[in-house]
Structure 1
Amino acid sequence: TAYVPVLNVARENFRLRLESVYFLGTQGIGAGDLTFLSDLDLAALTPAARGGGADASLAVTLVDHHVLSEAEAGLEPYVVRVLDHRPQDGPLPDSWTVTLEHVGSCCSLVARELLASDSFELEGDV
């Protein structure tokens, strides 16, 4: 299983996300180390496009948003989970596991998930 975090922003617009650029920079992570939505051919990621088969599964988790754009619409059958801090914008498929909590930042929800996981080990102080 491979987990690939994808930033839901075009690569050329990442520089406008100053807080992200700053924080990732403090960790030695630059834009060249990241995967952006604009880097991917989303349709080519689907199991059907890759010839199907048991090894062709795809599971998508939406983080910090829960409404797919027109460009992302083809991924809807593969969405399994949502973590978001915004109010729900319309009905969501029953097949999705949805966590929508009104907290200050979606990062709080992600941190809670990581800290609750038996497979996550925290190094150093938080």
Structure 2
Amino acid sequence: MLRYLLLLSLSASAVIGLSCYGYNDYQQFVETLHHRTFCSAVYQALDRTAVFGGGDRHPSHIPKIVNITKGNDCVLEHVDNSKFGYPSSDMWNCYCFSDMCNYPFTFKEFERRGHTLKPTFAMGSD
């Protein structure tokens, strides 16, 4: 009986959600966000900053996630802010679906990795 309860609790833990890194330039500290359905990172090309977090909505309800091509985790988007009096800019929207997959890399590291959150390995990587 105890074995079944343990298996049930382990299988239910995956349903509860993901844990993700949370960071923005205003708070300037990294936190852990719990109970998310996806993790995210947004890299702003204009000022080379980034924001990390996650969402609790189902990914199928977020057009940017649905429109990401298969195999990619980041997509470049041009944002026209001219109607608000701000310059237009490009930003990379990244989404991933495993625990702590949105490690807060600097913009420079993000570029070096080829604009992806996917891990690179020391052996054999360029």
TM-score for the superposition, normalised by structure 2: 0.22
Structure (1/2) with the larger helix percentage: 1
Structure (1/2) with the larger strand percentage: 2
Asked which structure has the greater RCO (Cα within 8 Å, sep 6+), the reply is 2
